[in-house]
């Protein structure tokens, strides 16, 4: 069967794609930027890429008409600009218009559990998208999930940050809200299982794991799995805004996403019972086991996708190609070269830079710069990296975004996503004669950009010289 997979660079779709390929389907992956889709292990003849932006109707002609089914896995909650609900409605309507002329026999949509009379803005938006998809005149199967637990998922990483960083937590009242977490492996099994099954057409199902827990219980059980002793004090006076700031400064989430999460966490997300797991032969994974499975993947360096890599940023919205040509005119540069003794060893170091490894020199200054960025609403260093040794275009890497990562070209190019009065690139090249070239480029915006460059120039001399020397050491 020919399957259309939207949001193919997103967290869920990257987990679903290998399953669809393994099941023998021809998969058409919709991506806004082909440069971000780098999965050589999936480079089979039955995977096709098409560049489609569902906010730009003129790109929808790239969708082939002979598809049998389509997965709708698009959301805009992490968008830092605009009304995400309106963006989601527009994208869904454009998707419907694009699908009507095709041969599609089913739309599969992953939504949120919406069983409460009062819903958050996020859940209302999910519900609105479901209504729009129904208007396509194509049988719709909706799977409604709550908290998704898996290596790289937003929920997992936020809970991990809270538990591992805070021995004592002073938390808001919404920690008493109940939810029904579900393992990512179960989510993928449900998504693949309902594909082109007529008995699931025009039906919605709540999907969740076997445990119904409060957020407080989830945090404490996470701590038990990790062998940590944690104390949580719930206070009634923490406002939604204060709660959002609390999440933003303690975890790797952005402030807009923290606001939406706090708004959603006040709503109980417990699924209505159904027999879909029995129908599809799916064994539901308990919460603690899902946590253990996630850490197994992390320890084996097998994290396929991360929510941080899919977060909407100007770089991802405009496309990596818009930034991959490093400007020359009107720029300041810090350019250094050094001979290396062991080229492969140096490449390994470059490919491991950032995250837990750090930046090889002056890490306390990198941490200070990250904290300063976070204080003004930037991403800071909290995002880390998806894998300690593997990297690809589109990945988040601390406060950088990977534009190009080519071992064959021996080149890594990063673009700064911190708050700056200008634009910044950091590039590493290893030449055939084993000369390492390291270039930091800054294109200032106005007088403030020029003042910024001169203000940080002494620190650049210290950090960049030390970094290239450490990279060159065998």
Decide: residue 340, CB within 10 A, 0-12 exposed, 13-18 middle, 19+ buried. buried
Locate all alpha helices (DSSP H) within 100-153, ordered by sequence.
Answer: 121-134
Tokens of 423: 């634009």
Q: What is the pLDDT of residue 474?
A: 73
> Are the beta carbons of 5 and 13 closer than 8 angstroms?
yes
> Are the beta carbons of 35 and 321 closer than 8 angstroms?
yes
Euclidean distance between CA atoms 378 and 4, whole angstroms: 35
Q: What is the pLDDT of residue 124?
A: 85
Residue 229 DSSP SS3: coil
Tokens of 362: 């002056």
Q: What is the pLDDT of residue 40?
A: 46
CA 314 to chain CA mean position, Å? 14
Phi, psi of 159 (to 5 degrees): -60, -40
Euclidean distance between CA atoms 264 and 408, whole angstroms: 45
Q: pTM above 0.85?
A: no
**pLDDT by residue, tens only, the chain of 474 residues:** 999 999 888 888 888 998 999 899 999 999 887 776 765 445 556 888 888 888 888 888 889 999 999 999 987 655 555 577 888 889 999 999 999 999 999 999 999 888 877 777 778 888 889 999 998 889 999 999 988 998 877 778 888 888 888 898 887 777 888 999 999 999 999 999 999 999 999 999 999 999 999 989 999 999 999 999 999 888 876 666 777 776 777 776 666 666 667 766 778 889 999 999 999 999 999 999 999 988 887 666 555 555 555 555 565 556 666 777 888 888 999 999 999 989 999 999 999 999 889 999 988 888 888 888 877 777 777 777 877 888 888 888 888 888 888 888 999 999 998 888 999 999 999 999 999 999 999 999 889 999 999 998 888 889 999 999 999 987
Q: What is the pLDDT of residue 122?
A: 76
Q: What is the pLDDT of residue 160?
A: 84
Euclidean distance between CA atoms 64 and 28, whole angstroms: 8
Strand order through the sheet with 140-145: 47-51, 26-31, 2-5, 69-72, 107-112, 140-145, 203-207
Q: How many CB atoms lie within 10 A of CB 226?
A: 14
Contacts of 263 (CB under 8 A, 6+ apart): 120, 121, 122, 240
């Amino acid at each position: 069967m020919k399957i259309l997979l939207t949001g193919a660079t997103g967290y869920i779709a990257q987990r679903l794609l290998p399953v669809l390929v393994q099941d023998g389907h021809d998969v058409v992956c919709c991506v806004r930027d082909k440069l971000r889709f780098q999965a050589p292990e999936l480079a089979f003849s039955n995977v096709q890429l098409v560049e489609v932006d569902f906010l730009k109707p003129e790109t929808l002609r790239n969708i082939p008409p002979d598809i049998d089914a389509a997965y709708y896995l698009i959301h805009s909650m992490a968008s830092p600009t605009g009304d995400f609900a309106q963006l989601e409605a527009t994208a869904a309507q454009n998707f419907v218009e694009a699908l009507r002329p095709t041969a599609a026999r089913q739309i599969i949509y992953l939504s949120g559990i919406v069983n409460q009379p009062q819903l958050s803005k996020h859940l209302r938006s999910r519900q609105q998208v479901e209504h729009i998809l129904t208007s396509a005149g194509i049988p719709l199967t909706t799977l409604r999930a709550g908290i998704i637990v898996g290596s790289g998922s937003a929920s997992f990483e936020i809970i991990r940050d809270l538990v591992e960083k805070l021995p004592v937590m002073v938390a808001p009242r919404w920690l008493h809200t109940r939810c029904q977490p579900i393992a990512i492996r179960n989510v993928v099994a449900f998504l693949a299982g309902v594909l082109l099954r007529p008995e699931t057409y025009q039906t919605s199902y709540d999907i969740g794991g076997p445990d119904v827990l409060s957020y407080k219980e989830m945090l404490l059980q996470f701590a038990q799995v990790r062998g940590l002793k944690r104390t949580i004090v719930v206070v009634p006076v923490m406002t939604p805004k204060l709660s959002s700031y609390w999440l933003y400064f303690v975890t790797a989430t952005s402030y807009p996403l923290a606001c939406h999460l706090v708004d959603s966490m006040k709503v109980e997300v417990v699924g209505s019972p159904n027999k879909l797991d029995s129908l599809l032969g799916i064994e539901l994974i308990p919460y603690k086991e899902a946590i253990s499975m996630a850490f197994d993947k992390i320890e084996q360096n097998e994290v396929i996708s991360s929510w941080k890599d899919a977060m909407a940023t100007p770089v991802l919205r405009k496309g990596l190609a818009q930034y991959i040509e490093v400007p020359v005119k009107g720029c300041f540069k810090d350019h250094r070269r050094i001979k290396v003794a062991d080229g492969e060893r140096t490449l390994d170091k470059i490919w491991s830079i950032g995250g837990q490894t750090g930046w090889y020199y002056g890490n306390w200054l990198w941490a200070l710069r990250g904290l300063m960025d976070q204080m003004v609403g930037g991403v800071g260093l909290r995002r880390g990296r998806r894998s300690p040794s593997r990297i690809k275009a589109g990945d988040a890497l601390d406060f950088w975004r990977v534009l190009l990562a080519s071992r064959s070209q021996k080149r890594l190019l990063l673009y700064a996503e911190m708050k700056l009065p200008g634009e910044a690139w950091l590039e590493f090249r290893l030449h055939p004669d084993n000369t390492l070239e390291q270039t930091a480029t800054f294109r200032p915006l106005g007088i403030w950009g020029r003042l910024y460059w001169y203000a940080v120039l002494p620190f650049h001399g210290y950090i960049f010289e030390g970094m290239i020397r450490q990279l060159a050491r065998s």
